[in-house]
Structure 1
Amino acid sequence: MSVEFLITAFIIVVSPGTGAVYTVATGLTRGLRMSVVAAFGCTLGIVPHMAAAIAGLAAILHTSALAFESFKWAGVAYLLFLAWQTLRERGAMQIDTEGESTKGDRSAAHVTGTAILINFLNPKLSMFFLAFLPQFVPTTSTDSLPLMLRLSAVFMIMTFVVFVIYGAFAAAVRDHVVTRPKVMAWMRRTFAVAFVGLGVQLALADR
């Protein structure tokens, strides 16, 4: 496994994106445990893209304008829904002051599902795996599939670790945020704007 792959993957993972924003938002509003759940869900959301790229299905998104646009606009719609949910409802941004409550399992399932959808409805991830991984698989390699699986696993582990760090940092300052309603309102608006901005960025994305 090359150093170039590790450096490139790290740069891509630490770059702010929808998953990172959601994980930070969860850490601020629900604490460390839920931020780890969000990081785990975002990591799971990579699996379909990885499988599609390895199976060659991602090529359909790359060559079919209709497939790409359909997938892209579904992702845009979901990001806008998250922005609306952040401002109008409590939903994924709800403050959980009860900590380990009887609602914990249900909340964890909701956070996991939302995190998975966030990354699943992002066609650029499929494009990433389609264009990125093959660069680090020699054309003469006799074990290209196992190598792609190993590279994908490293990318997913790196994603989980970085997102957990993001979430842990957010959770660490959580008490300073939730005890100040004005700060919390500002943070909610900030995350809503971030989701809208990421939606616009995705809407303008080309194949």
Structure 2
Amino acid sequence: MLSEDAQELGGDPDEIAEVYGGVALKENEVSQKDRSLEVVEPQNRSAKINEYINPAMFRTTDEDNWSASLQSVLDQPSVSFPQKLILGGMIFSVAFGAWATFGKIDQVGHAQGKLVPKGAVYKIHPTEPGKIINLAIKEGQKVKAGQLLAELDPETASSEVERLDKILDAYQIQLVQQISSIERTRLEAQASKAISEADKRGAEAAIARARASVA
């Protein structure tokens, strides 16, 4: 068992006499009082080896890692450090208080309700019926008199204009016909008047001749 441990430590089993701090030492490097080599069971081997390990070989102190001046600074903090800590806490408290007093937090809520306009409600009535194709305003927007609110579909108005044009043309034709009828009636009246006057003159002449024959 010990021979296997010696081979693992990298040496000849006959030359290995002691394990010191995890380092294999040869027999001539071991002191006379520590020459005895004891074979122990595997379960007691680690405890036996720990008895020969010097803890001082692995202990490091702050003096080994730091210089004297730096070590003194670390051991004795600056006198102004507590003051700086208190000052930083006061600045943080003032900043937090100012933010809590004057800061604004946007809150978003979801709820169901009904919008009620403030003031009087005005109903909009178009002068001409039609279909809305463009709404120039938004809900809740302020408007003024004369502002365009909505645009109607011109197709409906165009159809209505064409219909009215046809009616106007028909009325104009009727007007021309009536004027022609009036003119014809006037001419007929004039002819009738001329005939009546001729008949009157003929009757007067006949009466005059009859009176002359009687006398």
**TM interval, short-chain normalised:** under 0.3
Task: Mark the structure with the bigger radius of gyration.
Answer: 2
Compute the TM-score of the two structures, normalised by the length of structure 1. 0.20
* Structure with a larger share of its residues in helix: 1
* Structure with a larger share of its residues in strand: 2
Q: Which has the higher contact order (CA 8 A, sep 6+)?
A: 1
Compute the TM-score of the two structures, normalised by the length of structure 2. 0.19
